Structure 1
Amino acid sequence: MAVPKKRTSASKKRIRKNFWKGKGYRAALKAFSLGKSLSTGNSKSFFVRQRSQKTNKT
């Protein structure tokens, strides 16, 4: 026979929610940092092929 579980306390629920939100915040911070380093050319983990500046002489 199914028995209802005890209710989760508000503080425990808040802790889990903040932990879940924090994971998203850290992922966004890491992505922003990586994008910033790629745009400035200071990235050490990615090799970006540099496009040569071709001038059209016509």
Structure 2
Amino acid sequence: MAVPKKRISISKKRIRKNLWKKKGYWAALKAFSLAKSLSTRNSKSFFYATNK
């Protein structure tokens, strides 16, 4: 027989949602930072071809 789950409180739901959003924010910030360093050629983890 199926038993209904307990209802999660609004505050717990909000906390989990904010953690999930924050994780996305940091991922986007990191990606933007990497793109910025690539465009200015200041990246330490990528090698650039020099045309000489």
Give TM-score scaled by structure 2 length.
0.87
Structure 2: any 5+ residue segments left out of the alignment? Answer: none
Counterpart for residue 14 of structure 1: 14
- Secondary structure of the 1:25 match is helix
Deviation of the 1:46 alpha carbon = 1.2
Question: Considering only aligned residues, what root-mean-square deviation do their CA atoms show, in Å?
Answer: 1.4
Deviations 1:31-53 (A, max 9, x none): 10001101111100111324x38
Determine which structure has more spread, i.e. the larger CA radius of gyration.
Answer: 1
| Aligned length, in residue pairs | 52
Counterpart for residue 33 of structure 2: 33
Q: Give the number of the structure whose residues are more often helix, by fraction.
A: 2
Structure 1: any 5+ residue segments left out of the alignment? Answer: 54-58
Name the % identity.
77
